[in-house]
A and B are shown apart, each in its own frame.
Chain A
Amino acid sequence: MAMAVDVISWMLLTAGGFFVLVGGIGALRMPDLYTRMHAASVTDSLGAMLVLSGLVLQAGFSLDAVKLAAILIFMLFTSPTSANALASAALLAGINPGLAKPWRQEPRS
């Protein structure tokens, strides 16, 4: 039983690390601000959720699991709020989403 919980926890942690890394690469290589926000939201939601779920399985039934669940729920609520505020501020500042651009544009790496 403990072995199975360990294996599931390690699988969750590894998947979480993979998604965190993928979101970081996307946030660096995407061409536009809004696509970068889309890539960063992957790390904020899925990566954080998987990593913290794996740590909850490591902690077992204790106060640490409650703290981890509190962090997870708080990030689940605040990450979309920050993304909404950022997108509205960028739109108001006049940064265009670039929907009408042609396909071949210079990569701003």
Chain B
Amino acid sequence: MLYYAVIVAILATMALALARALLGPSVYDRVLAVNMLGTKTVLLLAVAAFFIGRPDFLDLALTYALINFIGTLAVLEFFRVRAQRRLAEEEKGD
């Protein structure tokens, strides 16, 4: 079963993304790492579905891809609004 190699590679990449999310200097590094982790979760679900011989899990992978995209956009919009508000306050202070 050569699925083991792909699953181990994806799990190692998820560990690296978690490390980047923990020690990212800025908020955006953490957002990038979490987005990467979501993509790897989709890949892991798709590979594991074939690994255990139950392809019904592909519906889960598709749903997780949708949730990951919308969640990333929502978090980025939140931080963008916050940064815009801070810039406006700085301009008012000047």
Asked whether A95 and B26 contact (CB < 8 A) given A14-B6, A27-B16, A85-B76, the answer is: yes
CB distance from B18 to the nearest CB of A (A): 10
Q: Known contacts being A44-B39, A92-B80, is A71 close to B46, with CB within 8 Å?
A: yes
Whether the pair B58, A71 counts as a contact (CB closer than 8 A) is: yes
Contacts of B2 in A (CB 8 A): 10, 13-14
Q: Interface size for chain B: under 10, 10 to 19, 20 to 34, or 35 or more residues? A: 35 or more
Q: Tell yes or no: B93 within 8 A of A by CB.
A: no
Give 1 or 0 for each of B17-52: 1 = CB within 8 Å of chain A CB: 101100001111101110110011011001100100
Residues of B close to A25: CB separation below 8 A: 16
Q: Which of A47, A59, A74, A88 contacts B43 (CB 8 A)?
A: A47
CA–CA, A104 and B77, complex, Å = 35
Min CB distance, B82 to chain A, in Å?
9
Complex: how many Å from CA A93 to CA B28?
10
A16–B12 CA distance with the chains assembled, in angstroms:
14
CB–CB B43/A89 < 8 A: no
Chain A 1-32 residues near chain B, CB threshold 8 A: 10, 13-14, 16-18, 20-21, 23-25, 27-28
Number of interface residues of A (CB under 8 A): 47
Which of B5, B6, B36, B46 sits near A27, CB closer than 8 Å?
A: B36
Minimum CB distance partner of A54 in chain B: B6
Q: List CB contacts (< 8 Å) of B42-71 with chain A.
A: 42-43, 46-47, 50, 55, 58-59, 61-62, 65-66, 69
Which chain A residue lies CB-closest to B70? A78
Q: How far is the CA of A75 from the CA of B72 in the complex (A)?
A: 13
**A21–B46 alpha-carbon span in the complex (Å):** 17
B55: nearest chain-A partner, CB-CB: A64
B83 touches A59 (CB 8 A): no
